[in-house]
């Protein structure tokens, strides 16, 4: 049975110690976990390095948190704050080899993509912002110069979007190699040392001014045209009004003159009425008679005119009806003729077609027979021509063979006779060496003549030899030259004897040695020989 402790028994000190140690260990573990769990702010990257996943040098986190094991791991932060880099680029060469100044401001920051963060942890961890900006500045300068070198000044100045896109496309992969990304590019200004961009600006301004002046001139022209049209309409309306006014005035004046004339006439009539009344009674009968005659003539003329008009009308109507009838008849006649011709053409066409079919069959048979005969004739002719060509080729080959054989026989006979002659020369001379010497002596005149011709056109006015005096051995330059010449004669004679078999007289060597001795005894002087005589040194 288990033993129970009494209620008033004191606690076991060992047990209390174990409980206290366990509580202390748990508290320390909690404190360790709290202290080693690192949270990553949104504007930073947490880089855990040390013993991390296999194949990685560091583990990067953007946001969240992670536990950093003590002893085997450590951590650091990379800032994501943007960095503005001023690039005072000056003197960059463009595609036209013109130096361009492109001061600009680039905004970069550490990238948050996993691969970029890993690269930034490798390349930038532990560097301050100044060192990072220095690395980025070097990369930006190089790539910016490269982009400018691939573009013309006109493209850089006018097409800024294309220039910025080229800069971004060129910089992005290079900056990602050190863990940075390009946020913004701000081109401050673009100038050049030669003033080309300024000239382009002046040209564009002048073109804009000219375009504006042209627009103003066009508007002025339109305004002038409108004013001219308005003035023309005004002048037309004024002229019409003046015309109406003048017509009214002229009408009034004419009516006035007519009225005045009538009044004057009435006055004159009143004054002469008395006289006329006397004459009117006499002439009244005559006038009435003339009136009656005139009325009768007018009535007759009117009747004649009416009759003529009716006749003309009747004739016109008749001609119209005749024309219509003629047109209708002509149309029907032509239609009938066309139908007759169509029938004739159809009949002729059918007959021609039948005839053509018959002729075609006959011609086809005739052509086939002719073609067969021509084919047989061509075959016979081709065979005959081939036989002629073969016979001609055989004849030419036989003739060529005979000609070459005769030529070879002739050359063989020439060489055989030449060999026989040489053999007799060798036998007559007593050996090949003596024969060679004899033949060499025979050709010496030709060799001498050839050598003389080679130097015939060379003019030697004079030959000057300067002697600087005696040397260390007591001999002058002239004596040394003659001594060397005398020393070279025996080897030369030996070579001629060994190679050519020609035995030179021995007195050549003795004469050369005596000349060398006399030159050694004489004082140094300058020897001049030639066609101009001898001269002493100055």
Among the listed ranges 278-287, 372-381, 431-440, which one has the minimum average pLDDT value? Answer: 278-287
pLDDT tens per residue, range 395-416: 888 888 888 888 888 888 888 8
Q: How far apart (Å, rounded) are the C-alpha atoms in residues 172 and 164?
A: 12
Average pLDDT for residues 328-349, to the nearest whole number? 77
Averaged pLDDT score across all residues of the chain: 76
Q: Specify the pTM.
A: 0.37
Q: How far apart (Å, rounded) are the C-alpha atoms in residues 144 and 105?
A: 12
Rounded to the nearest 10 degrees, the angle between the axes of helix 507-521 and helix 477-495 is: 170
Q: What is the pLDDT of residue 533?
A: 38
Q: How confident is the model at residue 535 (pLDDT cuts 50, 70, 90)?
A: very low
Phi and psi angles of residue 377, each rounded to the nearest 5 degrees, phi first:
-65, -45
Q: How far apart (Å, rounded) are the C-alpha atoms in residues 350 and 345?
A: 8
* Number of neighbours of residue 45 by Cβ within 10 angstroms: 25
Q: How far apart (Å, rounded) are the C-alpha atoms in residues 365 and 362?
A: 5
Q: What is the pLDDT of residue 514?
A: 52
> What CA–CA distances, in Å, run from 143 to 14, 41, 160, 167, 170?
75, 33, 17, 7, 6
Among the listed ranges 6-20, 252-266, 385-399, which one has the minimum average pLDDT value? Answer: 6-20
User: Which DSSP letter does residue 71 get?
Assistant: T
Instruction: Name the range with the highest mean pLDDT among 37-51, 283-297, 440-454, 462-476.
Output: 37-51
Residue 77: its H or E element: strand 73-79
The pLDDT of residue 351 is above 50: yes
Q: Are strands 73-79 and 83-93 parallel, antiparallel or unpaired?
A: unpaired
pLDDT tens per residue, range 136-157: 999 999 899 999 888 888 888 7
Q: How confident is the model at residue 110 (pLDDT cuts 50, 70, 90)?
A: very high
Q: How confident is the model at residue 54 (pLDDT cuts 50, 70, 90)?
A: confident
Q: How confident is the model at residue 521 (pLDDT cuts 50, 70, 90)?
A: low
The pLDDT of residue 59 is above 70: yes
Q: How confident is the model at residue 82 (pLDDT cuts 50, 70, 90)?
A: very high
Counting residues of the chain whose pLDDT is more than 70, the rounded percentage is 78
- Asked if residues 479 and 464 have their Cβ atoms less than 8 Å apart, the reply is no
Q: What is the pLDDT of residue 109?
A: 93
Q: How confident is the model at residue 106 (pLDDT cuts 50, 70, 90)?
A: very high
pLDDT tens per residue, range 435-446: 777 777 777 777
pLDDT tens per residue, range 279-317: 666 666 776 777 777 777 777 777 777 777 777 777 777
Q: What is the pLDDT of residue 232?
A: 83
pLDDT tens per residue, range 204-251: 777 778 888 788 888 888 888 888 888 888 888 888 888 888 888 888
Q: Are strands 527-529 and 463-465 parallel, antiparallel or unpaired?
A: antiparallel
Among the listed ranges 293-307, 380-394, 479-493, 498-512, which one has the minimum average pLDDT value? Answer: 498-512
Q: Which structural domains are found in the chain, ordered by start?
A: 16-74 (no CATH), 81-194 (3.30.479.30), 459-538 (no CATH)
The pLDDT of residue 107 is above 90: yes
Q: What is the pLDDT of residue 504?
A: 58
The pLDDT of residue 513 is above 60: no
Counting residues of the chain whose pLDDT is more than 90, the rounded percentage is 5
């Amino acid at each position: 049975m288990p033993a129970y402790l009494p209620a008033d028994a004191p606690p076991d000190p060992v047990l209390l110690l174990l409980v206290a140690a366990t509580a202390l260990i748990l508290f320390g573990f909690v404190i360790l976990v709290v202290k080693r769990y690192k949270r990553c702010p949104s504007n930073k990257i947490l880089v855990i390095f040390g013993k991390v996943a296999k194949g990685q040098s560091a583990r990067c986190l953007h946001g969240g948190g992670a536990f950093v094991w003590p002893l085997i791991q450590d951590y650091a932060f990379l800032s994501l704050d943007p960095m503005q880099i001023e690039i005072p680029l000056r003197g960059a060469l463009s595609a036209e080899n013109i130096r361009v100044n492109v001061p600009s401001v680039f905004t970069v920051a550490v990238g948050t993509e996993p691969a970029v963060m890993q690269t930034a942890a490798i390349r930038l961890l532990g560097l301050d912002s100044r060192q990072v900006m220095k690395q980025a500045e070097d990369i930006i300068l190089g790539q910016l110069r490269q982009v400018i070198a691939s573009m013309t000044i006109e493209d850089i100045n006018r097409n800024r979007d294309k220039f910025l896109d080229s800069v971004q496309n060129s910089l992005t992969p290079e900056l990602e190699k050190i863990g940075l990304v390009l946020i913004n590019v701000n081109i401050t200004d673009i100038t050049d040392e030669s003033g080309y961009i300024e000239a382009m600006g002046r040209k564009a301004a002048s073109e804009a001014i000219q375009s504006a002046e042209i627009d103003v001139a066009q508007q002025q022209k339109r305004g002038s045209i409108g004013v001219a049209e308005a003035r023309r309409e005004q002048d037309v309306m004024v002229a019409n009004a003046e015309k109406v006014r003048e017509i009214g005035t002229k009408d009034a004046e004419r009516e006035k003159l007519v009225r005045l004339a009538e009044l004057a006439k009435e006055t004159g009539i009143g004054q002469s009425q008395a006289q006329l009344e006397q004459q009117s009674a006499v002439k009244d009968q005559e006038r009435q008679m003339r009136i009656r005659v005139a009325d009768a003539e007018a009535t007759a003329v009117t009747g004649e005119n009416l009759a003529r008009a009716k006749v003309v009308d009747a004739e016109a109507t008749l001609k119209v009806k005749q024309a219509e009838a003629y047109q209708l008849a002509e149309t029907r006649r032509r239609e009938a003729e066309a139908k007759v011709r169509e029938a004739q053409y159809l009949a002729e066409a059918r007959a021609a077609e039948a005839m053509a079919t018959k002729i075609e069959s006959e011609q086809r048979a005739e052509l086939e027979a002719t073609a067969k005969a021509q084919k047989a004739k061509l075959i016979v002719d081709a065979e005959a021509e081939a036989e002629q060509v073969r016979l001609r080729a055989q004849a030419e080959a036989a003739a060529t063979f005979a000609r070459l054989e005769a030529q070879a026989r002739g050359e063989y006979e020439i060489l055989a006779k030449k060999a026989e002659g040489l053999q007799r020369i060798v036998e007559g001379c007593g050996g090949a060496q003596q024969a060679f010497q004899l033949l060499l002596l025979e050709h010496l005149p030709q060799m001498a003549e050839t050598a003389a011709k080679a130097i015939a056109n060379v003019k030697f006015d004079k030959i000057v030899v300067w002697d600087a005096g005696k040397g260390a051995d007591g001999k002058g330059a002239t004596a040394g030259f003659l001594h060397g010449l005398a020393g070279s004669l025996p080897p030369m004679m030996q070579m001629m004897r060994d190679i050519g078999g020609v035995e030179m007289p021995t007195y050549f060597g003795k004469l050369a040695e005596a000349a060398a001795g006399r030159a050694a005894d004489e004082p140094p002087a300058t020897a001049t020989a030639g066609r101009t005589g001898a001269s002493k040194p100055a």
